Amino acid sequence: MLSVENLSVSVEGRQILHDLNLHVMTGETVALFGPNGSGKTSLLKAIIGVPSYSIESGKIIFKGNDLTRLSMHERAVLGIGMSFQRPPAIRGVKLRDLLVTCVKKRGGVDPGDINDMIMRLGLSDLAERDINKGFSGGEIKRSELIQLQAQGPDLLLLDEPDSGVDLISIELVGSVINELLQKDRKKDRREKAGLIISHAGHILDYVNADRAYVMLNGTLQCSGNPRELLDDIIEKGYEGCTVCKG
Ligand SMILES: Nc1ncnc2c1ncn2[C@@H]1O[C@H](COP(=O)(O)OP(=O)(O)OP(=O)(O)O)[C@@H](O)[C@H]1O
Ligand SMILES: [Mg+2]
């Protein structure tokens, strides 16, 4: 589904990602770990096409389409969706109105489903407010997730969906992510794939990841089983991962 090939990305004239390669197959869930400032969010923003993240060299291929020159909007229409680590508040746009617009665009989805989605994620009051304006950290994560539910993308880019989420809500967030990734189907029957950034891996207690990568200084240094990698990081630190070069 996704092929990132020799990707180098700059922001504000500074190169942040260096010659990065990553492949995600349909049906897979891939986790991304790495220290603060290593470039994890920048990778996801480069994939979804946030304008200030300019591709210096390399390619991003999604379902056979070269995304390199496509706008963020065109990438979203092709089926890429992102839940942002720190999304902006959007004054004057109510969360419910955005959800209705997204669901209508998709067609064939009953707008009544929106109410069920809102109730399930405990967003009844928030749905009538401007998107993310004054939302708490955990509320922002649920707001981002419900927007993905309304969009129904094929590739889900989830930037720290677990940070700031309380112990009870994280189970709910996990079950919604599992549904979005069609985890109830066998891997070869799924049409979705996910890339999840997590620091402590809490979300991986609820969402099974097939493999994980460690990003250091703007490139992927190491890959392996998510749980084993997390244990290694706790034991040896991030730099310890460079030794294995898996
Ligand atoms: N718009 C920008 N302007 C200037 N520097 C930027 C911009 N976006 C990212 N950077 C820099 O790029 C580096 C990587 O940032 P990024 O947000 O990708 O890190 P991260 O791995 O997601 O970190 P964290 O775990 O803290 O979320 C950082 O040094 C950051 O300051
Ligand atoms: Mg980040």
| Helix, strand, coil tally for the chain in percent (to 5) | 40, 30, 35
Range of 217's domain?
A: 2-244
Residue 108: the pLDDT is 57
Specify the residue with its C-alpha closest to ligand 1, atom 22.
Answer: 41
CA 80 to ligand 2 centroid distance, Å: 18
Residue 246: the pLDDT is 47
Residue 239: the pLDDT is 82
Distance CA 150, CA 81 (A): 10
Q: What angle do the packed helices 137-151 and 112-120 form, to 10 degrees?
A: 150
Specify the residue with its C-alpha closest to ligand 1, atom 26.
Answer: 36
Specify the residue with its C-alpha closest to ligand 1, atom 28.
Answer: 37
Q: Residue 95, Cα to own-chain centre: how many angstroms?
A: 19
- Contact 17/39 with Cβ under 8 angstroms? yes
Specify the residue with its C-alpha closest to ligand 1, atom 18.
Answer: 39
Instruction: Give ligand 1 pocket residues (Cβ under 6 A).
Output: 11-12, 16, 34, 36-42, 52, 85
Q: What is the arithmetic mean of pLDDT over 117-129?
A: 94
Which among 212, 156, 144 is positioned nearest to 26, based on CA atoms? 156
Summarize pLDDT for 179-216 with one digit per residue, the tens.
999 999 999 999 999 999 999 999 999 999 999 999 99
- Contact 134/89 with Cβ under 8 angstroms? yes
In a mutational test of the pocket of ligand 1, which residue from 33, 41, 43, 158 has the highest number of ligand atoms less than 8 Å from its CB? Answer: 41
Residue 112: the pLDDT is 75
Q: What is the arithmetic mean of pLDDT over 67-75?
A: 95
Cβ contacts of residue 111 below 8 Å, gap of 6+?
A: 100, 103, 104
Residue 82: the pLDDT is 98
Distances in Å between the Cα of 176 and the Cα atoms of 30, 145, 244 are 17, 8, 34
Distance CA 226, CA 229 (A): 5
Give the domain CATH number at 171.
3.40.50.300
Could you say which ligand is closest to the alpha carbon of residue 35? 1
Q: What is the arithmetic mean of pLDDT over 81-97?
A: 96
Atom of ligand 1 nearest to the CA of 215: 21
Residue 121: the pLDDT is 94
Q: What's the structural domain count of the chain?
A: 1
Supply the mean pLDDT for the chain.
94
- Contact 7/17 with Cβ under 8 angstroms? yes
> Per the structure block, which two tokens stand in for 149?
């539910």
Q: What is the DSSP string of 116-167?
A: HHHHHTT-TTGGGSEETTT--HHHHHHHHHHHHHHH--SEEEEESTTTT--T
Distance CA 212, CA 226 (A): 5
> Per the structure block, which two tokens stand in for 60?
């991003």
Atom of ligand 1 nearest to the CA of 16: 12
Distance CA 74, CA 70 (A): 6
